[in-house]
Amino acid sequence: MTIQWDDNMSVGVPVLDEDHKVLIRLINDYTDAMENDEGLMVTDSIFAALGDYVHYHFTREEKIMELAQYNDLEQHKKSHRALEEHFMELRDSYVLMPGPSAERKVKEFLENWLRSHILKVDMEYKPVCSKLVAEGRIPAE
């Protein structure tokens, strides 16, 4: 199932919305690779891209939350570290024992991450961080 970006997914900060769109594309690339049985080499490169981009995105998101003086920043950082750690564990487990079961676990994790973190947890900072955009403290584009 391909995930489509929807304006309801917007966190009110265009640079973070763009990051989320890239992450959705990478998740879709992974799903496509699994459905087309493209093998470990393709999934390994997607895993690498996801791992790198997730770290890049989390760092940027945390800097924006810090600038906004977001009250739950420390808790949000903890959730980021937990997501990164879980993703790396799944990736390592997939590399050691590839197959339909591992593919399904990774796909479920990625889709759940989108639903529970981006669409719920990230929405909690929307009022505070989008205010920075309105004030011109974060570029709108």
Tell which wins on pLDDT, 76 or 95.
76
Alpha carbons within 13 angstroms on the beta-carbon side of residue 72 total 13
DSSP 75-98: HHHHHHHHHHHHHHHHHHHHHHS-
Q: Superfamily assignment of 13-134 in CATH?
A: Hemerythrin-like (1.20.120.50)
Which amino acid makes up residue 116?
A: S
Q: Which of 139, 137, 52, 46 is nearest to 94 (CA)?
A: 46
pLDDT digits (tens, 9 = 90+) for 102-141: 888 888 888 888 888 888 999 999 999 999 888 888 866 5
pLDDT digits (tens, 9 = 90+) for 21-38: 998 998 898 888 888 877
Structure tokens at 51: 């791992």
Please check the confidence at residue 68 and state whether its pLDDT lies above 60.
yes
Please check the confidence at residue 85 and state whether its pLDDT lies above 80.
yes
Residue extents of the structural domains in the chain:
13-134
DSSP 30-51: HHHHHHTT-HHHHHHHHHHHHH
